[in-house]
């Protein structure tokens, strides 16, 4: 058997799977942010007309998948796998969304890295010939996450400057064999890293080592330099995590400074309540859908390394004083043209 692997831990696709479509449904705050033009549906209210935030999150997830399928011109009979995940216990938003679709379902949990985790699995399913099309949907919601991970939303406390604001959004994408692109040329799954950060309000610091590790291994495996990418997009490192990640990579002799942007810093205007930046599954996913895919289709970005980062903690383990394990998965996307060969 011939394996499609390169280096120690990177998978490269001889036949590249395609991003057929992507869609993003967001809440009001995101809808007023810098990427508002790129969203497909903006809700004026965080409840999205439902009776609870959990119901709203699940609804948004479903809407984003409906839009993504419509954009790709597909119906659910043409989708062989549905992959989805979110931040809530038992990934309920994803499970409740999945009962609306008559498609084999695989639930994912990778905290805020779920988008990249899903892209890795979906692209392997398609490239391996196991699926004609695989749909991926991820979501996060500020209010559902806040009440699960921190305090009730009306609790009067001051957010620390290192804390991040969970993005209220749901994003879906369809991966297939043919379509508009961009193409997925290779993926590097992350290893869980733990540098002993215990502050649940400082997830940027917790996740930076995972990001640095995955990016470094990806570049090693592909024998590339950061300059080979037009953009290295981290998921939700925020201000502090971005600084730390660049510093950690610099120590390994890799300078990503001019290529690196963070999705958590692209999605909102810089405001005090946002803290160090946006976070959540939908943070990287929203930037993927509203910025990365359209820019690549316009030919502005030729090759992008999409690295979503996740803090794999729970409120219980944090209260027990456990440190926060974290992970980062990398997906390398290309826009096929004369300059970039498949």
Partner 1 sequence: MIYIRAFIVGGILCALAQVVLDSTKVNPAVIMVSAACTGAILSGLGLYGTLVSYAGAGAAVPLFGFGHTLVQGMMEDVAKEGWFGLFTGGFRASSAALTGAVVFGYLMAVLFNPKG
Partner 2 sequence: MPRANTREKEAYRKLSIKASPPRSVLRNAVVAFLVGGAICLVGQIVLSWISSTGIGRVQALSRTQTIMVFLGAFFTGLGLYDKLGGVAGMGAAIPITGFANSIVSPAMEFKREGFVLGVSARMFQVAGPVIVYSFIASLLVSSAALILAR
Residue 142 contact, options partner 1, partner 2, none, Cβ 5-8 Å cut-off depending on partner type: partner 1
Residue 169 contact, options partner 1, partner 2, none, Cβ 5-8 Å cut-off depending on partner type: none
Instruction: Report if residue 313 touches partner 1, rule: CB under 8 A.
Output: no
Radius of gyration of the chain (CA): 18
DSSP assignment of 225-260: -GGG-SEEEESS-HHHHHHHHHHHHHHTT---TTTE
| Longest CA–CA separation in the chain, Å | 60
Q: In terms of CB distance, is 3 or 157 closer to partner 1? A: 157
Shortest distance, position 24 Cβ to partner 2, whole Å: 26
Applying CB under 8 A, the span of 18-26, 116-124, 146-154, 212-220 interacting with partner 1 comes to 146-154
Q: Within a 10 A sphere around the Cβ of 37, how many other Cβ atoms? A: 8
Give the sign of the dihedral formed by CA 93, CA 99, CA 100, CA 101: positive
Residue 137 contact, options partner 1, partner 2, none, Cβ 5-8 Å cut-off depending on partner type: none
- Which positions lie near partner 2, rule CB under 8 A? 51-52, 147, 151-162, 191-197, 202, 205, 209, 213, 239-240, 243-244, 247-248, 273
Instruction: Report if residue 157 touches partner 1, rule: CB under 8 A.
Output: yes
Instruction: Report if residue 37 touches partner 1, rule: CB under 8 A.
Output: no
φ, ψ dihedrals at 216, nearest 5°: -60, -45
Applying CB under 8 A, the span of 36-44, 156-164, 281-289, 328-336 interacting with partner 1 comes to 156-164
Between CA 188 and CA 121 the distance in angstroms is: 11
Q: What angle do CA 45, 267, 273 make, to 5 degrees?
A: 70
Instruction: Report if residue 154 touches partner 1, rule: CB under 8 A.
Output: yes
User: Which of 199, 228, 230, 255 is close enough to bind partner 1 by CB under 8 A?
Assistant: 199
The closest of 127, 329, 63 to 218, measured between CA atoms, is 329
Shortest distance, position 153 Cβ to partner 2, whole Å: 6
Instruction: Report if residue 322 touches partner 1, rule: CB under 8 A.
Output: no
Residue 46 contact, options partner 1, partner 2, none, Cβ 5-8 Å cut-off depending on partner type: partner 1
Q: In terms of CB distance, is 80 or 199 closer to partner 1? A: 199
Segment 115 to 144, residues that bind partner 1, using CB under 8 A = 142-143
Angle between helices 142-149 and 53-72 (to 10 degrees): 140
Residue 209 contact, options partner 2, partner 1, none, Cβ 5-8 Å cut-off depending on partner type: partner 2
> For residue 66, what are the CA distances in angstroms to 2, 41, 155, 314, 335?
37, 11, 35, 31, 25
Classify residue 305 as left (phi > 0), alpha (psi -120 to 50) or beta: beta
User: Which of 5, 36, 70, 153 is close enough to bind partner 1 by CB under 8 A?
Assistant: 153
The closest of 312, 286, 285, 308 to 203, measured between CA atoms, is 312
Do 59 and 94 touch, CB atoms closer than 8 A? no
Q: In terms of CB distance, is 46 or 114 closer to partner 1? A: 46
Between CA 260 and CA 234 the distance in angstroms is: 7
Q: In terms of CB distance, is 3 or 157 closer to partner 2? A: 157
Q: Within a 10 A sphere around the Cβ of 189, how many other Cβ atoms? A: 21
Shortest distance, position 264 Cβ to partner 1, whole Å: 20
Chain residues binding partner 1 by CB under 8 A are: 46, 53, 142-143, 146, 152-154, 157-158, 160, 199
């Amino acid at each position: 058997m011939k394996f499609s692997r390169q280096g120690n831990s990177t998978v490269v696709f001889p036949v590249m799977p395609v991003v057929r479509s992507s869609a993003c449904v967001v809440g009001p705050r995101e809808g007023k942010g810098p990427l508002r033009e790129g969203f497909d549906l903006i809700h004026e209210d965080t409840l999205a007309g439902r009776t609870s935030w959990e119901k709203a999150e699940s609804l948004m997830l479903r809407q984003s998948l409906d839009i993504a399928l419509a954009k790709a011109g597909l119906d659910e009979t043409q989708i062989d796998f549905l992959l989805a995940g979110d931040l809530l216990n038992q990934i309920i938003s994803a499970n409740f969304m999945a009962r609306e679709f008559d498609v084999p379902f695989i639930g994912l949990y990778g905290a805020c890295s779920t988008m990249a985790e899903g892209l890795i699995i979906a692209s392997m399913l398609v490239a391996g010939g196991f699926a004609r099309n695989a749909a991926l949907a991820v979501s996060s919601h500020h209010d559902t996450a806040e009440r699960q991970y921190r305090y009730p939303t009306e609790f009067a406390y001051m957010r620390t400057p290192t804390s991040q604001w969970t993005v209220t959004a749901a994003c879906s994408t369809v991966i297939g064999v043919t379509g508009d692109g961009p193409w997925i040329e290779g993926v590097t799954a992350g290893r869980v890293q733990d540098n002993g950060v215990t502050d649940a309000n400082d997830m940027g610091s917790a996740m930076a080592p995972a990001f640095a590790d995955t990016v470094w291994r990806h570049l090693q495996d592909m024998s590339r330099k950061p300059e080979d990418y037009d953009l290295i997009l981290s998921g939700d490192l925020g201000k502090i995590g971005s600084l730390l990640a660049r510093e950690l990579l610099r120590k390994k002799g890799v300078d990503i400074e001019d290529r690196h942007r963070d999705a958590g810093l692209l999605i909102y205007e810089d405001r005090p309540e946002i803290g160090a930046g946006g976070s959540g599954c939908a943070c990287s996913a929203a930037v993927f859908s509203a910025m990365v895919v359209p820019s690549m289709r316009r030919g502005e970005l030729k090759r992008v390394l999409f690295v979503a980062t996740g803090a794999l903690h729970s409120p219980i383990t944090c209260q027990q004083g456990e440190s926060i394990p974290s992970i980062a998965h990398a997906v390398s996307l290309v826009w096929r043209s004369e300059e970039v060969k498949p």
